Copies of this chain bind each other. A is one copy, B any other.
Amino acid sequence: MNDASPTAAVLIIGDEILSGRTQDTNLNTLARFLGALGIELLEARTVGDRHEQIVGALNALRAGHDYVFTTGGIGPTHDDITADAVAAAFGVGIAEHPEALAILERRYGAEFNAARRRMARIPAGGSLIANPVTDAPGFHIGNVFVMAGVPKIMTAMLEDVAPRLRTGAVVHTRTVRVTGVGEGSVADILGAAARANREISFGSYPFGHGSVGEIGTNLVVRGRDETAVEAAVEGLLAALATTGIAAARM
C-alpha cells in the first residue's frame, strides 16, 4: 500500500509443522508484531528440517524483502540445522560465538555438554538475539533474524529484535459487520468502494456458512491514512444503508 514501508517475509522451519504434529502460531505472532511496526509482511514459507530446502528458501526470501524472520531449528539436537543452513546461504563460516558460549556456560553449569555447546555456533558476522526464557540466543545476520521455534521463546526474542528494525507507516484497520446476508449480497458495494479508493484495501470474511445461527460477513478496511480509512468506512455504511442491509462498525 505504501512503497516506502519496509517489506518482510517469514520462514518457518520444522518437520513438525509439515507432519501436522504441531499447529504453527509463530506466523500469526510475527504478522501482528510486524503490522504494529508498519512493516509489510508479504510472504511466508514453511520448510522441513532439510539443509538444501532451508538454504534455497532463505536465499530467495532475503533477496526479495527488506527483512526475513526465521523460526525453528536452533536447539541442541541433531535435527537443529538452521544455523549451518544460514551460514551456507550467506556463504560464511560458522564458529562458536564467545558471548553465546559464556551465556550457555552460565546457564548450564555442570550440565553444559557437547550438544548444548552446539547452540553457541553462530554464522560469522552474526550478532546475538537475547533469549530471556531459556538463554540460548538467536542471531541476526544481514537482513535475516533467526529465532527459536518454541512460541514462548520466539515471542520473547522479539523484544530484542524490534529496536533493530526500520519501521513504516502503521496500517489502520476497521471492520464493518454485515449480518443477515452472505457476502455475495454486498460484493457490488464492496467492489465499487475498492475501485474508488485504490490506496485502501477492502476484504470480505464471511461467517456462519451453511450452519444454524446468524450468517453475514466482516468487511475489513485497511490503509495507512487513517482519515481515508474512516472516510471509506463511512462511505461503505452509507452505501449499505440504501439497500436496507444490516451493517455496523465492530
Offer 9 A-B interface pairs, CB within 8 angstroms, sorted by A.
A16-B220, A19-B173, A44-B45, A44-B46, A76-B184, A79-B201, A115-B185, A150-B206, A152-B211
Given A115-B187, A222-B19, residue A79 in contact with residue B134 (CB < 8 A): no
Interface residues on A, range: 35 or more
- A residues neighboring B (CB under 8 Å): 15-25, 27-32, 34-35, 41-49, 53, 75-79, 108, 111, 113-116, 118-119, 133-134, 150, 152-153, 171, 173, 183-185, 187-188, 190-191, 194-195, 201-206, 209-211, 220, 222
Find out whether the CB atom of B21 lies under 8 angstroms from the CB atom of A17.
no
Find out whether the CB atom of B43 lies under 8 angstroms from the CB atom of A17.
no
Q: Known pairs A76-B187, A108-B184, A111-B185. 10 more at Cβ < 8 A?
A: A17-B31, A20-B35, A21-B220, A42-B53, A44-B45, A45-B45, A77-B183, A77-B204, A79-B202, A150-B206
Find out whether the CB atom of A113 lies under 8 angstroms from the CB atom of B24.
no
What's the minimum C-beta distance from A242 to chain B, rounded to whole angstroms?
16
Given A45-B43, A76-B187, A183-B77, residue A150 in contact with residue B23 (CB < 8 A): no
Q: Which residues of B contact A119 (CB under 8 A)?
A: 184
Given A46-B43, A111-B185, A184-B116, residue A210 in contact with residue B21 (CB < 8 A): no
Q: Which residues of B contact A32 (CB under 8 A)?
A: 20
Find out whether the CB atom of B19 lies under 8 angstroms from the CB atom of A187.
no
| A209 to B45 Cα, complex, angstroms | 26
| A75 to B204 Cα, complex, angstroms | 9
Given A53-B43, A209-B150, residue A24 in contact with residue B28 (CB < 8 A): yes
Find out whether the CB atom of A190 lies under 8 angstroms from the CB atom of B46.
no
| A205 to B211 Cα, complex, angstroms | 38
Which B residue sits closest to A8, measured CB to CB? B18
Q: Which residues of B contact A152 (CB under 8 A)?
A: 209, 211
Find out whether the CB atom of B41 lies under 8 angstroms from the CB atom of A188.
no
Find out whether the CB atom of B23 lies under 8 angstroms from the CB atom of A35.
no
